[in-house]
Structure 1
Amino acid sequence: MKTYSTSELKEKANEVFAQYPTVNEVYATPDGNVFIQKNRAELHAKQKDIRVKPFERELKGDSKATKTETVQAVERPNVTDTQKLIDAVTTLEGLDEYRQDDRKTVQKAVAAKEAALKDASNDDTDKEKQSEAKAENEAKETESTTNTAENGGDNTGE
């Protein structure tokens, strides 16, 4: 496994900043992976027993920032690529980084994905409720059968 230096990781971080203009901090690992979400970086690092190094976007006024970095920070992935990234999101929280994108097509994709995730969540909730209701009905049937047996087959209670 190649181990990247801090300066190489910084270059990779700047590439991610160029692709995601709303992201102000990324997390890199010495194996060259860069993550937007800290927990993803930590999970990856834990598997490889390596450390996570955070990088912050350099602001325009920062003396370290170059003109190239400033120009790259304005660029963002095209709508098609952004939509693919949104489609890959599996949680409502994962959509947060796309909510600030001002492009109408991206906002529609975020809204559609949010609705799909909520529907999936509601389906899971409905399944749980159905399962609970089924268990409750089975318990009532068992209780009814027990009462019938105790009353000598007479389920009238008299």
Structure 2
Amino acid sequence: MDTCFINSPLGITKIEGDENGISIISILSEGVVSNKIPENLKEAVSQLLEYFDGKRTDFSFKTNPKGTEFQQKVWQELCNIPFGKTINYLDLAKKLGDPKVIRASASANGKNPLWIVVPCHRVVGTDGSLTGYAGGLWRKKWLLEHENPTTQQSLF
């Protein structure tokens, strides 16, 4: 498994993967940026940097996240949330076919191993409020404002 660390506006981003795809993208509060990017990670690094520069709204590099069948289903559904849009946890559960899985889907959302690429930050509370985010609510707020296609003072 190859690993590298890049700088982002939200902290150091850790990227892990191999020839089968990127398996983990996570945010760290601190760390040291890599001097050399392994070949297997170059496309992911390039696309993430384009995203932060406002030049990319989706990702096309190969991914290989590890998770249960249910987690994989939730993560796939998260990828259907359009750039610049949000849904709430109840809507996510309904899209999965059962409103009763709201807690299980929220848990799977929180275990998302592909920060930003699987856009778990696009899920908000039923009342539209920012709720739960492993990277911290300030990062979720930044990501949603970064993706908001309309110019306004602040979303939250």
Q: Same fold (TM over 0.5)?
A: no
Higher helix share: 1
Larger Rg: 1
Q: Looking at both structures, which has the greater relative contact order when contacts are Cα pairs under 8 Å and sequence separation is at least 6?
A: 2
Higher strand share: 2
